[in-house]
Structure 1
Amino acid sequence: MADAAIIDALRRMGLVGPDEAVRLTPLTGGVSSDIHLVEAAGRRFCVKRALARLKVAAVWEVPLQRNAAEADWLRQVGAWLPSAAPEVLGEDAGLGCFAMSYLPPAENPVWKAELLAGRIDTGFAGRVGQDLAAIHARSAADPTMAGRFAHDATFEAIRIEPYLLATGRAHPALAGRFAALAAATLACRRALVHGDASPKNILTGAQGPVFLDAECAWFGDPAFDLAFCLNHLLLKGARGGADRRGYLAAFSALAEAYRAGIAWEEPAGLEARAAALLPALFLARIDGKSPVEYLTAEAERDAVRRCAVPLVAEPPARLADIAVRWISTP
């Protein structure tokens, strides 16, 4: 029945004919949507349908309207940086789904897979930082963005509550700090934020990074995107036997390239906000609602806690200070 509903939506979008045979193949990916490869009349593209309840252990329900916000983000970023987002081919708001171009995995490896395999390209990391800064800069200069992406309720449900507030509940002594970070982040409205700028949502395309899964798109604090992405470079180095130095080289390349592109506010202020958010997000991926799946040993998780807890309590002003603290954490 679900497949039939999707095929009906594709017909309403005009992407397949009324009598055209359609094949849907489920694709693996995130926890918040069902994604299918569509094959029809020799054409291949993807269709993505949002889920009301995310596929995680904790109960996590989120608004379906995020699907439309993602399609809007992809269209806008594609207009600014054509190689940085897949093309949106059609949308069905009633079903909460949209269709987009299919990017073959063999030609567009997922950055997360590359990082986990130890294939660390600092040049690519720098390009991610450069493109994130370009998106933030273009949006900060466009007065229509704030109203168009005023998705505060969705961002609070998908990011603030499960990552910051839930982690504060798991660490009562830090609950006040997490609550303050949540309030400060929601109050800051400077640029168009992707909200899930994780390596699992970034493809290593031939022309540079391709950003996917912008369900959390929101006009807010660009420091969130910077901290969110850098966090995953710290986490990859938390695995037993991993060489943290390689991931921290990518961390530095991304942070420096991003800082060079800050044109809409004072760079030191944005970096301070990112440096306050980063250890909180680091701890959130251990003790929040969405822990990373590849840190399975308690020793790995404890190393993250030893580094993150004091930095949440007393955040530094510079991102480099977090890297120094992490490389020296046993």
Structure 2
Amino acid sequence: MLIKAPLDLTQIAYLKKNGMLHAKEDVLDSYKAGEGNMNVTLAIKTNKRTFVLKQSRPFVAKYPHIPAPLDRIEIEYKYYNAINKDNLLANFSPDVLSFDKDSNLLALEYLDLGGDFLWLYDENATLKEGVADLMLTYLKKLHQLAVPDFPSNQEMRELNHRHIFVFPYLSENGFDLDDVQVGLQKLSAIVKNNPTLIKKIHLLGERYLQLGKVLIHGDFYPGSWFETGRGLKIIDTEFAFLGDPEFDLAIMLAHLKMARTSESELQRIINSYPLDNALLAQFTGTEILRRLFGLAQLPLFLSLVEKKELATYAINLIIDEKI
């Protein structure tokens, strides 16, 4: 059963049959919940409550021409189940209400009185004091969690691998960066014509595809951070797998850098969670470059000069292996 807003009588009947809607529950409204990239996400308002329905499709919801594994929604479900055994981590997660494997449907608590952190890229925007430390607390606890039997999530890693470590560096990838910002296509030559850089990124990508021993979120950026009336929540966990803890921290650092966070604050964060510095540097630089020159663009209010400076910074992180 495919869901879409507004829910029709057939969809409502199915949701009552699978238990996601209660027998005496009336649907008052259903609408798109947020601007997620991967899945169809709806808010369902009834006469008793509001909750969220997420459904995976055999493609990326924002980019229907890109195939994506259907079982990613089950990965998200299993991630929440795994971390919710820890009280601290459970406090950072939305409540899981139910899961329907047959229709790739996940019902979650509706998070109100807030939103994601994509505003962080706005000029002069900064995190409130203590928020970065909360995120570090989450990551440290997550990376200590013993989950040896977590699914490999191989297909999602292969999808992510292509868009992080391959696509941005192809001379002809079919994506005209001038549609994002005039002059960006020409600027991309700074990475596309750098064989030393591309070789290092290739090797890093091979490491990314290998299974590690630590459960990681896999997409720890401002779109996955959610502010609510009950504090910070971490969402959208379909990229989770057993990998390198440096990857999660690197994603966080890369996006804070793109959001103009001060060097002193970035260094404070790095010092607060000591990991392999060379690996951290390379993953951080690669995430910056793929967000500048890849398909998954961000609302960055940066001039071409600023983007060139950012790209040079990222290239140096990868080449020098130091942050």
TM-score bucket of the superposed structures, by smaller chain:
0.7 to 0.9
Q: Within 2, Cα distance between the matches of 1:187 and 1:256?
A: 26
Q: Within 2, Cα distance between the matches of 1:303 and 1:47?
A: 41
Higher alpha-carbon deviation: 167-176 or 68-77 = 167-176
Q: Does 1:25 align with 2:27?
A: no
Identity of aligned residues (%): 20
AA aligned opposite 1:164 = F
Structure 1 unaligned spans of 5+: 238-243, 260-266, 320-330
AA aligned opposite 1:97 = L
Residues 38 and 197 of structure 1: CA distance in aligned 2, closer, same or farther (over 3 Å): same
Q: Which stretches of structure 1, 4 residues or longer, exceed 6 Å deviation after superposition?
A: none
Aligned to 1:257: 272
Q: Does 1:96 align with 2:101?
A: no
Listed as ranges, the matches of 1:1-330 within 5 Å are: 2=4, 3-4=7-8, 6-18=11-23, 20-22=25-27, 23-56=29-62, 59-80=65-86, 81-104=89-112, 106=113, 108-113=114-119, 116=122, 118-138=125-145, 142=146, 145-157=147-159, 159-170=160-171, 171-172=192-193, 173=195, 174-205=197-228, 208-237=231-260, 244-245=261-262, 248-259=263-274, 267=275, 270-295=276-301, 297-316=303-322, 319=323
Structure 2 unaligned spans of 5+: 172-191
Q: Deviations over 1:281-316 (max 9, x none)?
A: 111101122122324642332222222223323321
How many residue pairs end up in the alignment?
292
2:232 is paired with a residue whose SS is strand
1:66 Cα deviation after fit: 0.5
Residues 46 and 57 of structure 1: CA distance in aligned 2, closer, same or farther (over 3 Å): closer
The alignment yields a C-alpha RMSD, in angstroms, of 2.4
1:209 Cα deviation after fit: 2.8
Bigger share in helix = 1
| TM-score normalised over the length of structure 2 | 0.81
Residues 9 and 219 of structure 1: CA distance in aligned 2, closer, same or farther (over 3 Å): farther
Q: Within 1, Cα distance between the matches of 2:273 and 2:230?
A: 18
Is the 2:121–2:258 contact (alpha carbons within 8 Å) kept by the matching residues of 1?
no
Is the 2:286–2:318 contact (alpha carbons within 8 Å) kept by the matching residues of 1?
yes
Higher alpha-carbon deviation: 112-121 or 224-233 = 112-121
Is the 2:33–2:52 contact (alpha carbons within 8 Å) kept by the matching residues of 1?
no
Q: Deviations over 1:7-57 (max 9, x none)?
A: 345324313235642131211221111211111232111111123322556
Is the 1:26–1:37 contact (alpha carbons within 8 Å) kept by the matching residues of 2?
yes
Q: Within 2, Cα distance between the matches of 1:208 and 1:295?
A: 28
Q: Within 2, Cα distance between the matches of 1:32 and 1:182?
A: 21
2:67 is paired with a residue whose SS is coil
